C-alpha cells in the first residue's frame, strides 16, 4: 500500500524534484553518518584523555601524601590535596589510612562556570537519563616500601567533558546544516542544467501538438543523452513535416480531382454546359415552380440538323468544335435566367420559365434556328447545319417533367419530318407513332425474335502480360431497313420503355453461351463483362435470370462480370447493395463502368464489393497531353489501388496513351488500339 502511494507520488513529481530528493537523501544520510562518527570519536578521545590525566594526578598526589600519612601530618596532607583546586573536574578527594578512617579530605568549592552556557542543559540531560552518569571515582593506593599504607579516593565530575562534547555536537550539526544548505543550492542549480533541456523538449512537444506545427526544431548544444534525444526528436519532426507536406499536397490534389469529378458529374466537358443529369433536376424543379406559382414554363427540345454528316466527314474533333460553337451561339441569344443543357450527342434542351406571352417563345425559337443556320467555320472549312426544335408548354400540355420531355421530343421529330430547320409546338394530335423513338421502340420489340440482335466482344488486355484477360459484351442491332443502330440510340429507348428487361435476359443468356464457346476454344482465364442498366438490376427476376442462365449453360460464375454505372449504384442503393452482394455471393465480379462521369465519389465504393473500376474514355482521350486528365487518371488509379480495386482504362486508342497508363500503374486496357468490338466468330478459332 505504502509502496503504491510512493509510486503514485513519484509519478507526479518532476524529474528535477526527483533528482533533488534522491541527491538530498544521499547528502543527509552521509552527513548524518559523518557527524555521528565525528562526535562519537571525539567523545572517546576526550574520555580517554580525561581518564588518563585524572589517573596521573591521582598517582602524583598519592605519592606526595605518603610522608604526611607516615608522620600523621593531616594539615600537610590537606595542603597537598588542595592542589586539586587547579583540577576543576575533581569533585572531592579523600585519604583513608590503612584502618579505613578518613585522614584528610578535599571538596571542591562549587561555583557555576559562567562560561559554560550548556551547563544547565547538560545537567537536565543528565538528570533525565542514566546514560550520562556525571560522576565516577578512582582509588589510588598510597604505598610505602611496597606496602599500602592508605588509599586516595577521588570523585571525578564528568560534566565538563559532556559540555565539551555537546559543544562539539552543536558545531558539527551547524557545519552539517551549512553543508546541507550549500549542497541543496548546488544541487538545485546543477539539476536545472540537466532538466532545462528536458523541459524545453517537453514544452516544444506540447507546442507541436497544440499548433500542429512540425516546422519547429529544438536548439541542441549538448552531446549527452539529452542531446541525442533532441537530435532524434528533430529528425522525427523533419520526417513528419515531409510526410505532412506530402500528405497535404496529395490531399489538395485529391480534393481538386474530386471537385473536378463533381463538376463532371453535372457538366458536359465538350460544351461546358450542364449535362443530362443536371437537366433532369432542373426540369423537375422548373415544373414544380411553374405549377406552384401558376406561371407557364416552356421546354425547347433542340436537335442539330446534319450534325452526323460533320462528325462522319470531318471527324469527332471537328464535331466537338461545332458543338462548342453551337452552344456558345445559343447561350448568346438566350436570357440569363434560361437554362440550356446538352442532353445528348447533338441534342440540347432549353428551359424557359415565367412565360407571359407564348408568342415570345416563337421569337426565341426563331432566333435559335437563325443563329445556328449561319455557317460554321471549323478548321478552315465551312459547314452549314441547322436545328429542329420541338416546344412543349407546362401546364398547358402536361404537368409532369417526363411527359414534357416526351412531348417536346415528339414535336422536334415532327419539325424534322416537316423539312428540318424549323420548330413545332406540341399538340395532342401528335401521335406517338410519329416519333422516331416510337418507331425504334416498336422495331426493337421484334428485334430479338427476328434475330436482329447480336453480341460483339471487345478484348480487355492485362497491362503486365499484354495478354487478353477478358471481353466486354456490347450489343449490336442490325435493323432490316436502317442498318446497324448504335446501342447509344436504342439502349436509352429500351430503358425508357422497359424493353431493356427482355433484352437484358437475352443478353445474359447469350453471354453465358458465348463464354462457354471461349472456353471450348481453349481460352481459360477470362471474364465476360456484361453491361447491366439500373432498371435491370432493380428487376425482381434479375438474380433468377442469372442463376437460370448459369445453370442451363453450366458456366462457372467466375467467368462473369457485371458492369454497373455509378448512377445505378447510387440510386436506391439499399436494394442495389443487396443485389450486388447476392451477385458477389454467386462468385460474379462487379465492375464500375464509365467512372468519372457520374457521382465519382470514391467513398461509396467502400460499400460495394467492387473488383474493377473502368475509367471513362472521356479522360483517356486527353492523355498524354492534357495535364488535367493525367492528374485525374493518376488520382483515380491511386485511390482505387488504395481500396484494392483494379483499374481498366477504356477507349485506349494510341501507344502514347498505353505508355502513360502503364507509368500510372493502370492494370488493364480496352480500346481500338488493341481491338474494336467484333463478333465472337472473329475471336475464336
Summarize as ranges the residues that interact with ligand C2E (CB under 6 A): 458, 474-475, 486-488, 491, 507, 531, 533, 593-594, 617, 650-653, 671-672, 677
From 50-58, 361-369, 390-398, 593-601, span contacting Ca ion (CB under 5 A) = 593-601
Among 140, 561, 594, 629, indicate the residue that binds Ca ion (CB under 5 A): 594
Min dist. Cβ of residue 621 to ligand C2E (A): 8
User: Binding partner of residue 458 among ligand C2E, Ca ion, none, CB under 5 to 8 Å per kind?
Assistant: ligand C2E
Neighbours of 273 (CB within 10 A): 23
Smallest gap from Cβ 574 to ligand C2E, in A, equals 22
Closest C-alpha to 651, from 626, 668, 627, 639: 668
- 278-284 contact pairs (CB < 8 A, 24+): 278/341, 279/339, 279/341, 279/343, 279/349, 279/351, 280/401, 282/339, 282/341, 282/351, 283/349, 283/351, 283/401, 283/404, 283/405, 284/401
Closer CB to ligand C2E, residue 387 or residue 501? 501
**Beta strand 483-485 with 347-355: parallel, antiparallel or unpaired?**
unpaired
Residue 296, binding choice from Ca ion, ligand C2E, none, Cβ under 5 to 8 Å by partner class: none
CA-CA distance, 359 to 114, in Å (whole number)? Answer: 135
Stretch that binds Ca ion, among 330-338, 424-432, 586-594, 602-610 (CB under 5 A): 586-594
Nearer to Ca ion, 197 or 677 (CB): 677
- CB-based contact 68:76 (threshold 8 Å): yes
- The least CB distance from residue 671 to ligand C2E, in Å, is 3
Binding status of residue 392 toward Ca ion by CB under 5 A? no
Q: Which does 49 bind (CB under 5 to 8 A by kind): Ca ion, ligand C2E, none?
A: none
Could you tell which of Ca ion, ligand C2E, none binds residue 486, using a CB distance below 5 to 8 A set by kind?
A: ligand C2E
CB closer to ligand C2E out of 483 and 642? 483
Among 148-156, 382-390, 452-460, 591-599, which window interacts with Ca ion (CB under 5 A)?
591-599
DSSP state of 602: H
346 binds Ca ion (CB under 5 A): no
531 binds Ca ion (CB under 5 A): yes
Residue 677 contacts which entry, ligand C2E, Ca ion, none (Cβ below 5-8 A, type-dependent): ligand C2E
| Shortest spacing between CB 458 and ligand C2E, in angstroms | 6
| CB neighbourhood size of 218 (10 A) | 18
C-beta closer to ligand C2E: residue 226 or 473: 473
Min separation Cβ 565 and ligand C2E, Å: 8
Nearer to Ca ion, 150 or 618 (CB): 618
Q: Which does 672 bind (CB under 5 to 8 A by kind): ligand C2E, Ca ion, none?
A: ligand C2E
Give min distance, CB of 506 to ligand C2E, in A. 9
> In the bound complex, what is the minimum distance in angstroms from residue 675's beta carbon to ligand C2E?
9
> Which of 390/671 has CB closer to Ca ion?
671
Neighbours of 433 (CB within 10 A): 9
Cell numbers at 593, concatenated: 463502368
Task: Answer yes or no: are the C-beta atoms of 411 and 301 closer than 8 Å.
Answer: yes
Q: What is the dihedral of CA 141, 144, 149, 151, to 10 degrees?
A: -20
Closer to Ca ion by CB, 530 or 639: give it: 530
Q: Which is nearer to ligand C2E, 223 or 488 (CB)?
A: 488
Nearer to ligand C2E, 96 or 307 (CB): 307
Q: Estimate to the nearest angstrom the gap between the alpha carbon of 278 and the chain centroid.
A: 34
**Distance from C-alpha of 599 to C-alpha of 275, rounded to nearest angstrom:** 13
Measure the CA–CA gap between 674 and 680, rounded to whole angstroms.
16
Q: At what angle do helices 358-373 and 316-333 cross, to 10 degrees?
A: 140
Neighbours of 312 (CB within 10 A): 10
Spatial separation of the C-alpha atoms in residues 138 and 230, rounded to whole Å: 75
Q: Residue 353 binds what, of ligand C2E, Ca ion, none (CB under 5 to 8 Å, by partner type)?
A: none
Q: Is the dihedral of CA 30, 36, 42, 48 positive or negative?
A: negative
Residue 399 touches which of Ca ion, ligand C2E, none (CB < 5 to 8 A by kind)?
A: none
Partner in contact with 488, chosen from ligand C2E, Ca ion, none, beta carbon below 5 to 8 Å by kind: ligand C2E
Query: Which x/- pattern over 640-659 shows residues binding Ca ion (rule: CB under 5 A)?
Result: ----------x---------
Nearer to Ca ion, 305 or 472 (CB): 472
Structural contact between residues 84 and 93, judged by C-beta atoms closer than 8 angstroms: yes
One character per residue 540-569, x = contact with Ca ion (rule: CB under 5 A): -----------------------x------
Looking at residue 267, the DSSP 8-state letter turns out to be B
**CA angle (113, 115, 121) in 5-degree steps:** 75
Please list the alpha-helical segments (H only) found in 103-224: 119-128, 159-211
Backbone φ and ψ for 604, nearest 5 degrees, come out as -70, -20
57 binds Ca ion (CB under 5 A): no
Q: β-pairing, 560-565 with 468-479?
A: unpaired
Select from ligand C2E, Ca ion, none the partner in contact with residue 653, using the beta carbon and a kind-dependent cut-off of 5 to 8 Å: ligand C2E
Distance in Å, CB of 550 to ligand C2E, minimum: 18
Q: Which residue of the chain is nearest ligand C2E when measured via CB?
A: 671
Q: Which is nearer to Ca ion, 539 or 594 (CB)?
A: 594
- How many chain residues are in contact with Ca ion, going by CB under 5 A? 5
Task: For residues 95 and 142, give the distance between their C-alpha atoms in angstroms, rounded to a whole number.
Answer: 9
Computed over its alpha carbons, how large is the radius of gyration of the chain? 56
Q: How far is the CB of 533 from ligand C2E (least distance, A)?
A: 4
Residue reference for cell 589510588 = 140
Sign of CA pseudo-dihedral 319, 323, 325, 329:
positive
Which three-class secondary structure state does DSSP give residue 125? helix
DSSP β-ladder status, 527-531 and 90-97: unpaired
- Determine contact, residues 270/342, Cβ cutoff 8 Å: yes
Smallest distance from the beta carbon of 529 to ligand C2E, in angstroms? 9
Cell of 487: 446501342
Spatial distance between the Cα atoms of 32 and 175, rounded to a whole number of angstroms: 11
One of 268, 441, 514, 593 touching Ca ion (CB under 5 A): 593
Beta carbon nearer to Ca ion, 487 or 502 = 487
Whichever of 594 and 629 has its CB closer to Ca ion, that residue is 594
The least distance separating Ca ion from the CB of residue 472, rounded to whole angstroms, comes to 6
Q: Which is nearer to Ca ion, 426 or 471 (CB)?
A: 471
Task: Find the shortest distance in angstroms from Cβ 626 to ligand C2E.
Answer: 16
Q: In this complex, which beta carbon is closest to Ca ion, that of residue 323 or of residue 530?
A: 530
Cα atoms in the 13 Å half-sphere on the side-chain side of 488:
4
CB of 559 to Ca ion, least distance (A): 17
Q: State the residues that interact with Ca ion by CB under 5 A.
A: 531, 563, 593-594, 650
Amino acid at each position: 500500500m505504502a509502496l503504491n502511494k510512493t509510486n503514485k507520488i513519484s509519478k507526479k513529481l518532476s524529474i528535477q524534484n526527483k533528482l533533488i530528493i534522491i541527491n538530498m537523501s544521499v547528502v543527509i544520510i552521509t552527513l548524518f553518518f559523518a557527524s555521528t562518527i565525528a562526535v562519537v570519536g571525539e567523545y572517546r578521545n576526550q574520555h580517554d584523555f580525561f581518564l588518563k590525566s585524572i589517573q596521573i594526578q591521582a598517582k602524583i598526589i598519592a605519592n606526595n601524601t605518603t610522608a604526611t600519612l607516615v608522620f600523621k601530618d593531616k594539615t600537610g596532607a590537606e595542603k597537598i590535596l588542595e592542589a586539586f583546586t587547579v583540577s576543576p573536574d575533581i569533585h572531592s578527594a579523600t585519604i583513608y589510612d590503612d584502618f579505613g578512617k578518613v585522614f584528610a579530605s578535599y571538596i571542591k568549592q562549587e561555583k557555576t562556570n559562567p562560561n559554560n552556557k550548556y551547563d544547565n542543559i547538560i545537567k537536565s540531560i543528565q538528570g533525565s537519563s542514566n546514560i550520562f552518569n556525571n560522576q565516577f571515582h578512582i582509588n589510588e593506593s598510597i604505598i610505602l616500601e611496597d606496602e599500602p599504607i592508605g588509599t586516595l579516593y577521588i570523585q571525578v565530575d564528568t560534566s565538563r567533558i559532556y559540555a565539551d562534547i555537546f559543544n562539539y555536537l552543536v558545531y558539527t550539526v551547524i557545519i552539517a546544516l551549512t553543508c546541507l544548505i550549500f549542497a541543496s543550492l548546488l544541487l538545485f542549480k546543477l539539476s536545472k542544467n540537466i532538466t532545462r533541456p528536458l523541459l524545453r523538449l517537453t514544452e516544444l512537444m506540447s507546442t507541436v501538438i497544440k499548433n500542429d506545427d512540425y516546422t519547429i526544431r529544438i536548439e541542441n548544444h549538448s552531446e549527452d543523452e539529452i542531446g541525442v534525444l533532441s537530435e532524434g526528436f528533430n529528425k522525427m519532426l523533419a520526417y513528419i513535416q515531409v510526410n505532412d507536406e506530402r500528405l497535404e499536397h496529395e490531399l489538395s490534389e485529391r480534393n481538386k480531382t474530386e471537385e473536378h469529378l463533381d463538376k463532371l458529374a453535372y457538366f458536359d466537358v465538350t460544351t461546358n454546359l450542364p449535362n443530362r443529369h443536371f437537366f433532369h433536376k432542373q426540369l423537375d424543379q422548373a415544373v414544380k415552380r411553374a405549377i406552384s406559382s401558376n406561371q407557364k414554363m416552356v421546354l425547347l427540345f433542340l436537335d442539330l440538323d446534319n450534325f452526323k454528316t460533320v462528325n462522319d466527314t470531318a471527324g469527332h474533333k471537328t464535331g466537338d468544335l461545332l458543338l462548342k460553337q453551337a452552344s456558345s451561339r445559343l447561350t448568346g441569344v438566350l436570357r440569363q435566367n434560361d437554362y440550356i443543357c446538352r442532353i445528348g450527342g447533338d441534342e440540347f434542351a432549353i428551359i424557359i420559365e415565367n412565360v407571359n406571352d407564348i408568342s415570345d417563345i416563337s421569337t426565341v425559337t426563331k432566333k435559335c434556328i437563325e443563329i445556328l443556320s449561319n455557317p460554321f467555320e471549323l478548321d478552315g472549312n465551312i459547314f452549314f447545319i441547322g436545328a429542329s426544335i420541338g416546344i412543349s408548354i407546362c401546364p398547358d400540355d402536361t404537368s409532369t417533367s417526363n411527359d414534357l420531355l416526351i412531348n417536346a421530343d415528339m414535336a422536334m421529330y415532327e419539325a424534322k419530318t416537316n423539312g428540318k430547320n424549323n420548330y413545332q409546338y406540341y399538340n395532342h394530335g401528335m401521335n406517338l407513332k410519329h416519333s422516331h423513338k416510337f418507331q425504334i421502340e416498336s422495331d426493337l420489340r421484334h428485334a430479338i425474335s427476328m434475330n436482329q440482335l447480336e453480341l460483339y466482344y471487345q478484348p480487355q488486355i492485362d497491362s503486365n502480360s499484354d495478354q487478353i484477360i477478358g471481353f466486354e459484351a456490347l450489343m449490336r442491332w442490325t435493323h432490316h431497313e436502317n442498318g446497324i443502330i448504335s446501342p447509344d440510340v436504342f439502349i436509352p429507348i429500351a430503358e425508357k420503355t422497359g424493353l431493356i428487361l427482355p433484352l437484358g435476359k437475352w443478353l445474359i443468356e447469350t453471354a453465358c453461351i458465348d463464354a462457354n464457346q471461349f472456353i471450348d476454344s481453349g481460352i481459360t482465364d477470362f471474364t465476360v463483362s456484361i453491361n447491366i442498366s439500373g432498371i435491370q438490376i432493380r428487376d425482381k427476376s434479375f438474380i433468377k435470370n442469372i442463376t437460370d442462365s448459369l445453370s442451363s449453360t453450366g458456366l462457372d460464375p467466375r467467368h462473369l462480370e457485371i458492369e454497373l454505372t455509378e448512377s445505378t449504384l447510387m440510386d436506391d442503393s439499399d436494394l442495389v447493395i443487396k443485389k450486388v452482394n447476392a451477385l458477389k455471393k454467386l462468385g460474379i465480379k462487379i465492375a464500375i463502368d464509365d467512372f468519372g462521369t457520374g457521382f465519382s465519389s470514391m467513398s461509396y465504393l467502400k460499400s460495394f464489393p467492387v473488383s474493377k473500376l473502368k475509367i471513362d474514355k472521356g479522360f483517356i482521350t486527353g492523355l498524354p497531353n492534357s495535364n488535367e486528365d493525367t492528374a485525374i487518371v493518376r488520382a483515380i488509379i491511386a485511390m482505387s489501388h488504395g481500396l484494392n480495386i483494379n483499374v481498366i482504362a477504356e477507349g485506349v486508342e494510341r501507344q502514347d496513351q498505353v505508355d502513360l497508363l502503364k507509368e500510372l500503374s493502370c492494370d488493364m486496357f480496352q480500346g481500338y488500339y488493341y481491338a474494336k468490338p467484333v463478333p465472337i466468330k472473329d475471336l475464336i478459332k
